[in-house]
Structure 1
Amino acid sequence: MKFWKFFFKNKKKCQVNEINKIFIQKIGKDNLYLSTCKKVNLEELERLCDSVGWVRRPLKKIKFALENSFLMVSIFQITEANKRLIGFARVTSDGSFNATIWDVVIHPDFQKNGLGKLLMNQIVKELRKHDISTITLFADPEVVKFYKHIGFIIDPDGVKGMFWYPI
Structure 2
Amino acid sequence: MDYKIISALNERQFADLCELYRQEWWTNTRNPEDIAAMLEHTDIIIGICEDQTDRLIGFIRVLTDFVYKALIFDVIIHEAYQGKGLGRILLDQVTAHPKLQSVRHIELYCKPDKVAFYEKWGFTDQLGGIHFMRKTAQ
Alignment match of 2:120 (pick from 118, 138, 149): 149
Q: Give the greater-gyration-radius structure (CA).
A: 1
| TM-align CA RMSD | 1.9
**For the Cα contact (< 8 Å) 1:46–1:56, is it kept in 2?**
no
Gaps of 5+ in 2: none
CA distance in 2, matches of 1:63, 1:134: 27
CA distance in 2, matches of 1:165, 1:129: 28
The residue number in structure 2 matching 1:38 is 8
SS at match of 1:48: helix
Matches of residues 9-158 of structure 1 in structure 2 within 5 Å? 27=1, 31-35=2-6, 37-40=7-10, 41-53=13-25, 54-79=27-52, 82-126=53-97, 129-158=100-129
Gaps of 5+ in 1: 1-26
SS at match of 1:138: coil
CA distance in 1, matches of 2:59, 2:36: 14
Which has the bigger relative contact order, CA under 8 A and spacing at least 6?
2
Percent identity over the alignment?
Answer: 27
Structure 1 stretches of 4+ with a deviation exceeding 3 A read 51-54, 127-130
Q: TM-score, normalising length from structure 2?
A: 0.85
Q: TM-score, normalising length from structure 1?
A: 0.72
Q: What is the Cα deviation at residue 130 of structure 1?
A: 4.8
CA distance in 1, matches of 2:66, 2:92: 18
